[in-house]
Structure 1
Amino acid sequence: MAIRRSATKRHGLPSSVQLRLTPTPAQADAVTAAVLLCNQAATVISRLAWQHRVFAVVELHRLAYYEVRAQVAGTPTGRVTLPYTGRPEDLKAIDALPLGEADLICRHGVWLLQVALTLPHPAVREPVSGFMGADHGVANLAVTSDGAVLPGPALAGPVGGNGHVRTLRERRHRQRRRLQKKGTASARRVLRRLAGREHRMMTDLNHQISTYVVREAERTGRGVALEDLQGIRGRVRAHRLQRRTLHNWAFAQQITFTRYKTARAGIAFILVDPAYTSQACPDCGHISRANRPARGRFACQRCGLAGHADHIAARNIATRGIASWAAINQPHATGLPSPRRDRESKPPDSASGS
């Protein structure tokens, strides 16, 4: 169960902290009643919205307000003040920084409060040493233009693979299928537990990838360039054995994590056109499907450059990052900054960090 409190959005870079609430039994009962009441009201509002096909906030408020008051019985006991604990740095942050929205969560009987914070937003530094490109894929979750496979057993190692991640996901997929076929109450409980574990694993891996990329870019004075993967699921023709990974992996989350971490560090960030990044030669510029003689191999038919296809794609992404950054930072006749640069480098309204 969860209840969300919205707050006015402020300028800056949001992050979040998690606090553990320690209510007394009476306080826990009061909070539980408030959450159930909120969820009951949300159910009524959702039913009215779909019944009348009204989804705009103002119109939905006019439509649902009085009916919700009539149908949702009971009122909370009033404001409840709860003690909380957390990491010292998190407690210091909520005292010093502006607060955003908060999520109240009850997880296995433990009450948690996840609070969004607004961190200072430093100015973006010019990428004097160019851009670091990262190619996102299925066989390799991410490969950088330096040749590092992420998350990989060794982050700085050569292009190899993420077989351990794929093996783990395949094993869990087979386990889910067996439990779904079994269909018992205990099997459903295990499925719910596995779903949470899978989500946490994906989020952790995406944090590992984004953190490494941002730290390496900061260390070398570069910006970060990623492919604009919007619509990748409908655009990419994956092998049937890779389709499940393609459709299940949180590519958007990986981009979101990288975007807000670069903004927090003042590093240039840009999304580039992904077209032909794995078919173009970064040395001579020749583009051809024949440059990909095998799924993971690149061999330029003009100049003979050869290498791992994902590494070649990451190099092309880095090159396009340099060109795109130069284009959107050209001075305007009016003397105003490029609106596209503001859109690319602006952090999202909310995100969670590690």
Structure 2
Amino acid sequence: MAIRRSAAKRHGLPSVVQLRLAPTPALATAVQVCNQAATYISHLAWQQRVFPILDLHRLAYHQARAHFGGLAAQAAVRAIARVAGAYANRRATKKRAHIFRPHGAIPYNARLMSWNRDARIVSLWTPTGRVDPAYTSQACPECGWTSRANRPARGHFACTRCGLAGHADHIAARNIAQRGVAGWAAVNQPHATGLPSARRDRESKPPASVGDS
């Protein structure tokens, strides 16, 4: 999956950074939790007939964060905005609660995702904590040896200890996936119970997203 976002101005000119992320259990959890939170907030909005974003924020923000223990403040804010937008864009009368697909795309903004262009490092929020790929292109996924010498050339990885070799991006993806699996094992995935099972409506596509395309 890929993300495009505006980065900080570089040499006085704005730039766009394109990132390609390897799916991990931690990121999959983030997608599911955010969509569960959006459905939960949608259910509250529909029950209370509260749809404007500011009023919905007052109603649902603290309830959603209390219900989903791993939900970050900014993730809750984005979920509320998605719900308000979904109801604002509906043509028909609001006769049922809007349901968000469990693996639907979710928006990541600068508070949920940070990018260090010079260090080629991206940090992403997940319910298990930040996914930080620091040194993933220098670490060997087989023996664990981390060294700058493992990168003899741009785009190439060769472990100086065990001899494992491959494309640097592929090695980094393996390391990120391993970190995600380690975080997944320590998490009880939140589950939104008691929500309606009406048909799933189409969701509007956010400008920057993580999840299924």
Q: TM-score range by the shorter chain?
A: 0.3 to 0.5
The TM-score normalised by the length of structure 1 is 0.24
Larger helix share, 1 or 2: 1
